[in-house]
Structure 1
Amino acid sequence: MLRIGYVSLRDARSADDTAALKAFGCHVVRAEEPASLTADESAVLTSILDFIGEGDQLVVMRLEHLAHSTRSVLEVIDRLDERGATLFVVEPELSSEGACGRALRAALQAVAAVEPAWAGRRRRSAPAAEEIKALQDAGVGPVEIARRLGVSRMTVWRKLRALEAG
């Protein structure tokens, strides 16, 4: 059995997690760079899920390091199941194997059933005031600016007001 550790570098404790996973017995520990993280999936995790084989185990320190939402965690567990691999979480100790795995899946499915569809998605950072001002100077109205930048009209008005005041 090959144990593959996965670390998300969004956490300040990621260096400690890498050492802990190696001490736990992971043969390989792969770390996700923050730049490669998206709301849906990460490049390193995807490569692990494509590579992992039957009887292997994906190990993470905490369940929240695996994905941004409960539905995404369930998708990872499903992909591991398809490949004959399992998930092991160190803190708290959880596994996708056997009776514990069935209980974990049932709990995650219950949470996913009440989780909002947008849960786990990262919010887009607010656009710079200069970006909004440039669109306004180009003759674009506030409603269209908001639509183009994916923000509320109120955000556009606040940024424009701040520019006028400053």
Structure 2
Amino acid sequence: MLQIGYVRLRDEGSTQETAALKAMGCHVVRAEEPGLSGGDETAVLDSILDFIGSGDELVVTRLGQLGGSCRAVLEVLRRLELRGATLFVLEQELSTAGNGARALRAALEAVAELEPAGLARRRRPAEADQILALQRAGVGPVEIARRLGVSRMTVWRKLKAAVEA
């Protein structure tokens, strides 16, 4: 099992969070630096979620590291589940491995119902024809993802689907 730490660098406390993740035993710690991702405030997190493997664990110090709303955190949980990975939150000692997963999800869903709509960050859908046109023009998958504002995994999936069709 690979443990991947994730932290958003926002203040001087972030270095302590990074140190805590390393002390916890995270094999890799990735940091999100606001403003350096070309306007995408979660580029590093998206990259982790695109490539985390089955049985791996994403480790954060606080749930707030995953997003500004419960809907955003639920989306991270959904993506982790799709990949067969789990989440561990250091400060609250919460984990989506085992029995705690359903309780955590239920609590987040209850709070999300109270949140005003539209707070969750939504990616715009990428059209397969846009992706294929850029690929035919010689643009690589990483650049296609950047230009269209989607994850690299989305680009790869659409390209694979086009080949299989």
Partner SS state of residue 31, structure 1: strand
* Structure 1 consecutive aligned stretches of length 4 or more whose deviation exceeds 3 Å: 36-41, 118-121
Equivalent positions of 1:65-76 (< 5 A) are 65-76=65-76
| Amino acid paired to 2:3 | R
Describe how 1:15-30 pairs up with structure 2 within 5 A: 15-30=15-30
Give the residue type in structure 1 aligned to 2:95.
S
Aligned partner of 1:94 in structure 2 is: 94
Report sequence identity in percent. Answer: 66
Amino acid at match of 2:100: C
Q: Distance in 2 between matches of 1:40 and 1:97?
A: 29
Please report the TM-score for the alignment, with normalisation by the length of structure 1: 0.68
Contact 2:35 2:41 (C-alpha < 8 Å) held by counterparts: no
**The residue matched to 1:45 in structure 2 has which SS?**
helix
C-alpha contact 1:66 1:73 (8 A) present in aligned 2: yes
Q: Deviations over 1:45-70 (max 9, x none)?
A: 00000110000000000000111110
Residue pair 2:34, 2:41 contacting (<8 A) in 1 also: no
- Asked if the contact 1:36/1:42 (under 8 Å) is kept, the reply is no
Change (3 A) 1:18 1:27: same
Under a length normalisation based on structure 2, what TM-score does the superposition of the two structures give?
0.68
Residues 43 and 20 from structure 1, CA distance in 2 versus in 1: closer, same or farther, beyond 3 angstroms? same
Segments of 5+ residues of structure 2 without an aligned counterpart are 122-165
- Partner Cα distance (1:110, 1:102) in 2: 12
SS of equivalent to 1:102:
helix
Q: Which runs of 5+ in 1 are unaligned?
A: 122-166
| Separation in 2, partners of 1:60, 1:32 | 12
Larger radius of gyration: 1
Give the Å deviation of 1:97.
1.6
User: Partner letter of residue 43 of structure 2?
Assistant: A
Q: Which amino acid aligns with 1:114?
A: L
Give the distance between the partners of 1:15 and 1:85, measured in 2 at CA: 25
Matches of 2:72 and 2:38 in 1, distance apart? Answer: 12
Q: Residues 124-147 of structure 1, C-alpha deviation per residue, up to 9 Å, x if partnerless?
A: xxxxxxxxxxxxxxxxxxxxxxxx
Q: CA deviation at 1:40?
A: 7.8
> How many residue pairs are counted as aligned between the two chains?
121
